[in-house]
Structure 1
Amino acid sequence: MTAVPDLPILAADDSMLSRKFGREVANYFSGSPLNRVSFLRSDHAFLNAAFAHPSTSFLLLDNYSPLAKDTANLAYVGKDDVLPLTGPEPFKKTEAEQIKSFNSAVTQPIILFLGLDEKKKGFEYREYRGNPYFAIDVTPKGSIEEKAKSVIEAVKSKQGVSFIPGGRLLTLNAPEAAIYAQARALLDWNARSPFCGGCGERTMSVNAGTKRVCPPTDLAGVSEGGEPKQRADCPTRHGVSNLSFPRTDPTVIMAIVSSDGTKLLLGRGKRYPPGWYSTLAGFLEPGESIEEAVRRETWEESGVHVGRVVIHSSQPWPYPANLMIGAIGQATPDGETINLGNDPELEDAKWYTFDEVREAMGGSAVAFGEPVPDGEKGKLRIPPQTAIANRLMAAVIEGYLGASPKI
């Protein structure tokens, strides 16, 4: 049975917007406790100092599985634990020097700078204070395979930690889930982007793991001390488009309310566990607004026509790089008939009363793929609170569409 972690909730305030729309919602995988200070990722003096500081925490991921104490708490290691893989000064060279010494035959470990925990004041750099956090990909591969294996075996020998397996990790406490989401998404992007989209040559990671560049030269096959080989001209080296950035795929996910405001439209995918229904969802297409995507996807999947659409909240979803944009829409009075004949994506779709959804929310929290407890089979099952689908349903049945919510 999956435990439901506490969700991050921003502090209440008395601002005009909060009085009008209620407290801001921070969904699971958001609400990171770290200040990313993204402008310092190119400052190698900062990165070197942060990497070497005794207060720094390193999160290790082996094939995207994080090192953890248990399913709710990540485990962090210190600098000495990662030195066999990273060396003592991985940011000693400037970015320009790293690009000049690029060797496509040598695998470099991906080292991500995640940010500073400003609640802890052990590290200082100019006016910035807070304990640094890094994430390192220790997946054994290429020329670093043996070094990565040695790091993995050394940390696994420590009592009480292990790499948590599983395709979708939804059991971490909320702040660490956000840290893991940032690390996983960036490591996945680096792993999926080894080649340049302009010329097909190998790229290299820069900016503390958040950008990739196509170097103009390569030391692969060059004798020690020799001049690097010039690579073919590449369109990414001209103008301002000389870097590759992490991708984020926007996806709409929507709670659709009946025209009379008493029922919710839920759909069932073909691979869902028994009894599972959820809100509808789909990818945004180029040249399409969020509101248009909600209406299009709802009609394509269920045949239901949607009128007014309101954006509720969003959720980063690092599997691998989605941003779930949560919306609430209302069906038109003459558009509520369900028709699954347009897009065969759904196995079924139904209108459920608020009471039926409320009862499902009171059931046991069962994550995707887990068995349904005895005595609850045959009942409506919905995603757990870690999913934005659940939060959208809760918002509707708790009165989001009624009078202005209170803080």
Structure 2
Amino acid sequence: MPQPQLPEPAHAQVDSMLSRKFGKEIANYFSGSPLNRVSFLRTDHAFLSAALRHPSTSFLLFNSLSPLARDPTKLEYASFKDVQPLVGDDPYSKNEEQMVSEYNSSVTVPQLLFLGLDEREKSGFEWTIYHGSPYFALDVTPKGTICSTAEKLIESMKSRGLQFVEGRMHMSLPAEQAAIYAQARALLDWNARNPFCAQCGQPTLSINAGTKRTCPPKDLASLINTTSIGSTTATTPTADRPDCATRKGISNLCFPRTDPTVIMAVVSADSERILLGRQKRWPKYWYSTLAGFVEPAESVEEAVRREVWEESGVTLGRVVIHSTQPWPYPANLMIGAIGQCTPGGEEILLKHDPELEDAKWVTLAEVKEALHVGTSGLGEEAGEGYKEGGLRLPPRTAIANQLLSAVTGGFLEGGNGGSKM
């Protein structure tokens, strides 16, 4: 399958002191969204109601985190008319204070996200000084009290020749669609993983157009349960829930989680070789750069040095940050770096952390050749011209590819490096 183009760097044509010194900004796959998130409007229910029902509004549907698409290379969107039976006439008719006071955990509310406005589209939607086509994402996974309605919506989409594209990763979408998909998937996954309060264990409520969750002080479901089960005591039924620390002070919300992760191209002390590693589950001859999570109270540079030493035994000196990549599986921010070995620190020892099956030093020429003919996703065939036994590397939609392209493309000599191939 042809690899999609990468997003264009922001303001690539603007000359500035920074661009002259460091080169143009590197944009990685899953970044470069065309949407203005206007995050400050997520609490404005009048705005959300108007955006939701505008004729130009697009809804990206997900079923068990699988997006609605024509095929793996093109997302498809639904209209408000399509989703109205599931979300109702106006899910934003009540403000957040009313939603919290009337919370009922026994009623399944489909997860709806406001993603932003595409200001390039002259759709006629305007709100004060803001304009553009609104975009939402909606989880249509059949569950709870919405099971039947969700199933009908799914069948309606399939009857149009559309599908919910399954797969561990979706990296064949056009760059702009990939960025919209990444935002939606990460937020839907976070909401699904946090149905209960981390402090008191009670069900939580999604607010702020899907970007925060709160622990309401009342739950009308408790009244329903008490009535249906009956009571043998003199206790008066109440919707009040036990005290929770998240309702005190200003920290009364649960925010989406983003996990910082370092990923690094490691260069030998003489700048002639690159360190690559492989995990046991990967295809034969398939290698990549090393990576790992940033730990609390650790700088990015320290995390790079620690992860490289733990996984390979190699010792790094100078570390520089190259670029970053959102990674919605489930919610990582990949911080791409390039590090150089200290003299005498290049010996590979895999005895510390058993994560890697193998690690080896590869010449820049070998890496450059593999970038030309040997890149692919984990489940895909290598590129045209690849010969069995040659080095295989991640596709250009992965930041690992960008880091390797930078090293072999002149980054170490002061150039910007990288390639869109």
TM range (shorter): over 0.9
Moved more, 356-365 or 128-137: 356-365
- Whether the 8 Å CA contact 1:285–1:293 is kept in 2: the answer is yes
Q: What amino acid does structure 1 have at the position aligned with 2:151? A: K
CA distance in 1, matches of 2:275, 2:224: 65
Q: How big is the shift at 1:187?
A: 0.3
Q: After the TM superposition, which residues 7-406 of structure 1 pair with which residues of structure 2 at under 5 Å, given as runs?
A: 7-10=6-9, 11-122=12-123, 123-159=125-161, 161-222=162-223, 229-372=239-382, 376-405=387-416
CA distance in 2, matches of 1:288, 1:12: 35
CA distance in 2, matches of 1:352, 1:118: 46
CA distance in 2, matches of 1:26, 1:36: 18
Q: How big is the shift at 1:366?
A: 2.0
SS at match of 1:187: helix
CA distance in 2, matches of 1:357, 1:364: 9
SS at match of 2:114: strand
C-alpha deviations, 1:229-263, integer Å up to 9, x for none? 00000000001110000000100000000111111
Count, aligned residues:
404
CA distance in 2, matches of 1:27, 1:405: 14
- Whether the 8 Å CA contact 1:266–1:278 is kept in 2: the answer is yes
C-alpha deviations, 1:144-184, integer Å up to 9, x for none? 1111111111111113x211110111100000000000000
SS at match of 2:135: strand
Identical counterparts, % of pairs: 61
Q: What amino acid does structure 2 have at the position aligned with 1:389? A: A
What are the ranges of 5 or more consecutive residues in structure 1 without an aligned counterpart?
none
Q: How big is the shift at 1:228?
A: 6.0
CA distance in 2, matches of 1:362, 1:55: 42
Moved more, 45-54 or 267-276: 267-276
Q: What amino acid does structure 2 have at the position aligned with 1:155? A: M
The alpha-carbon distance between structure 1 residues 371 and 68, as it changes in their structure 2 partners (threshold 3 A), is same
Q: How big is the shift at 1:404?
A: 4.2
- Whether the 8 Å CA contact 1:259–1:330 is kept in 2: the answer is yes
Alignment RMSD, CA only?
1.7
Q: What amino acid does structure 1 have at the position aligned with 2:377? A: A
Q: What amino acid does structure 1 have at the position aligned with 2:344? A: D
Q: How big is the shift at 1:364?
A: 4.8
CA distance in 1, matches of 2:342, 2:374: 33
- Whether the 8 Å CA contact 2:316–2:339 is kept in 1: the answer is yes
